[in-house]
Amino acid sequence: MSPRSGTRPVDTATIACDPARVELEAENSLHARCRLLVSTPAAWVAAAIPSLSTLLVEQAHLEKKAAAAAMRFLFSHGTEPWIQRALSCIAREELVHFERTLRLLDQRGASFTTLPPSRYADRLKAAIAPTMPERAVDELLVASLIEARSHERMEALGLALSGVDDAASAFYLDLVEAEARHRCLYLDIAASLVDANEVERRFLRLAQVEREAILQRDEVMRLHSGHGSHDNA
Ligand SMILES: [Fe+2]
Ligand SMILES: [Fe+2]
């Protein structure tokens, strides 16, 4: 029998989550060479703070999407054990983040509602090669870029919220280390498909698209929205 609408048959706050942490072998030169091309403008951080309640709702959507992306890669990237293990761990770790975000929303009396996304992800997806095998590499590199921007902006929000909203600050700062690891793991998986020079060449092209997306205006304030966003919708 399915639970009635509005009832809460399971208290997710009491479920023990496996931390599902995936370790990096080590930082390598590819990780160092494949970085974001532009830092977030200070104006974005200032504009983001008044939209914190919207950003926290969006965070739940982002974590769920990140888990779904890792699951899609899990099915599309063969049987190599370290890749399968890494993707499985990323998916689980993102779901733990999702549950943590839902808990935070609950603690703040906020609802997990639908939100229209910014155009950032669509701009990046439009730059992905249309045909295989290049498409497979680009999809991993876009995932790496999104993780990198998530890491950068969540860290900026966590630091800016310190002393303003300590619970939200601690939440963001607690998650950033995982997003940094995910950035590197997606680069490593891309480097299992083509050589490092090709990874770097394709990354640079996509990173330039990402840079443009960050510097363009978005109508909505989101974690990955462009500069000059003022609307809370
Ligand atoms: Fe996450
Ligand atoms: Fe992540």
Q: Structural domain boundaries of the chain?
A: 41-215
pLDDT at 233: 41
Q: Does domain 41-215 have CATH number 3.90.209.20?
A: no
pLDDT at 7: 46
Q: Are 200 and 102 a contacting pair, CB within 8 Å? A: no
pLDDT at 219: 85
Calculate how far, in angstroms, residue 182's C-alpha sits from the geometric centre of ligand 2: 5
Calculate how far, in angstroms, residue 194's C-alpha sits from the geometric centre of ligand 1: 26
pLDDT beneath 50, residues of the chain:
1-17, 229-233
Calculate how far, in angstroms, residue 2's C-alpha sits from the geometric centre of ligand 2: 32
DSSP alpha helix (H) spans, 34-80: 42-48, 52-76
Calculate how far, in angstroms, residue 147's C-alpha sits from the geometric centre of ligand 1: 8
Helix (H, G, I), strand (E, B) or coil at 54: helix
pLDDT at 203: 98
**Which-ligand-closest: CA of 180?**
2
Calculate how far, in angstroms, residue 176's C-alpha sits from the geometric centre of ligand 1: 8
Calculate how far, in angstroms, residue 110's C-alpha sits from the geometric centre of ligand 2: 23
Calculate how far, in angstroms, residue 1's C-alpha sits from the geometric centre of ligand 2: 35
Count of Cβ atoms closer than 10 Å to residue 193 Cβ: 16
pLDDT at 2: 41
The one-character DSSP state at 163 is T
Inter-axis angle of helices 166-190 and 196-215, nearest 10? 140
Distance CA 221, CA 159 (A): 18
Distance CA 226, CA 116 (A): 15
pTM for the predicted model, two decimal places: 0.89
> CA neighbours within 13 Å on the CB side: how many for 107?
12
Tell me how far apart the terminal alpha carbons of the chain are, to the nearest angstrom. 37
Calculate how far, in angstroms, residue 63's C-alpha sits from the geometric centre of ligand 1: 5
pLDDT at 5: 42
**Which-ligand-closest: CA of 181?**
2
Query: Tell me, what amino acid is at 205?
Result: R
Helix (H, G, I), strand (E, B) or coil at 220: strand
Calculate how far, in angstroms, residue 144's C-alpha sits from the geometric centre of ligand 1: 12
pLDDT at 217: 84
